[in-house]
Amino acid sequence: MDFWAQKRIWIIGASSGIGEGLVKVLAENGAKLIISARNESKLIELKAAFPFAEIEVLILDVENHSSLPEKTDQAWQLFEGLDYVFLNAGMAVRDLVVDSRLDVERKIMDINFWGPVSITKVLLKKKNPDSKLHLVLTSSLSGKYGVPKLAAYAASKHAIQGYFDSLRVETFGSGLFIHIVIPGFIRTNITVAGLRGDGSTSGKMQNALAGGMDPEVCALGILRGLERGKEEFVVGGSERYTVPLNRFFPTLMKRLIRSNPLQRIKNIRKTLFGK
Ligand SMILES: NC(=O)c1ccc[n+]([C@@H]2O[C@H](COP(=O)([O-])OP(=O)(O)OC[C@H]3O[C@@H](n4cnc5c(N)ncnc54)[C@H](OP(=O)(O)O)[C@@H]3O)[C@@H](O)[C@H]2O)c1
């Protein structure tokens, strides 16, 4: 993967799951990394695991929007510019709409949508017209269709899709490249660290994720897609077929979702692959 050697890369949401997987693969492939999240000790531990790699730790909270211009400025200065920025930090809330507090739903939008937008606005001003900059957004299958108990999370990911699809068109030919990654079921802490509608931490891993793809395998899939210059792509197991299914057969897809999609996907997987 020579492609990534010496590339200046900022990974936001690097302390766990998919972001951590990206750090591991990119560090081993000679990239210059800035790793960001709130959990300082985890980031320092991650940096120490790759003593041969060029890694800078930059602590930030994407929910604290007023701090993001300065943080983005610092990230830009560290390697005198950036080639790839992974806007990957995310949080989930899982509950019925009727049981979800508005402030909890707003928090999800603040982290998953307004965080990446705030950082992007600063980056757009910093980018030299002759240079290239790749923004990599982590969306979700629920950025493509609605899912029960994930309304606010799905809204934040739909918002990412709409905003960054628009920005891509607006800036075509300027050297800014927008990539939207849609992970399927990846075995990470997203549901463990996620919230219930009342704001309490869930602490539980969702079954679909427990049986999902390893985050490092997901990271490899993401990097391959980016090497090929893909604008939008899904990385995951058989659940990735729900995207074309929804696109071409939306009525059927809605019917499937109403009748417990996760169980159905599991049943289909069992029938097709015996697991
Ligand atoms: N796992 C899946 O199946 C799946 C599927 C579709 C999409 N995704 C998306 O993939 C992305 C990565 O999630 P993951 O699955 O790898 O989950 P994860 O293991 O929980 O990782 C989430 C990352 O986001 C960071 N983060 C959360 N809130 C933050 C904040 N306020 N400020 C800064 N960083 C923050 C966390 O770091 P700190 O806690 O240290 O701040 C952590 O590094 C998310 O955008 C998620 O929505 C995941």
Using a 6 Å cutoff on CB, does residue 37 contact ligand 1?
yes
Using a 6 Å cutoff on CB, does residue 17 contact ligand 1?
yes
pLDDT at residue 261 in the model: 59
Query: 272 Cβ partners below 8 Å, 6+ apart?
Result: 238
Using a 6 Å cutoff on CB, does residue 16 contact ligand 1?
yes
pLDDT at residue 259 in the model: 83
Contact 100, 197 (CB under 8 A): yes
Task: Quick: pLDDT tens for 102-130.
Answer: 999 999 999 999 999 999 999 999 999 99
Task: Quick: pLDDT tens for 14-58.
Answer: 999 999 999 999 999 999 999 999 999 999 999 999 999 999 999
Positions of the chain with pLDDT lower than 50, given as ranges? none
Question: Checking phi first, is residue 96 left (phi over 0); if not, alpha (psi -120 to 50) or beta?
Answer: beta
* Domain annotation for the chain: domains and CATH numbers: 2-236 (3.40.50.720), 240-275 (no CATH)
Ligand 1 atom nearest the C-alpha of 191 is 20
pLDDT at residue 260 in the model: 72
Ligand 1 mean position, distance from CA 114 (Å): 15
Nearest Cα residue to atom 17 of ligand 1: 190
Nearest Cα residue to atom 7 of ligand 1: 140
pLDDT at residue 190 in the model: 96
pLDDT at residue 264 in the model: 64
pLDDT at residue 262 in the model: 62
Active site residues: 153
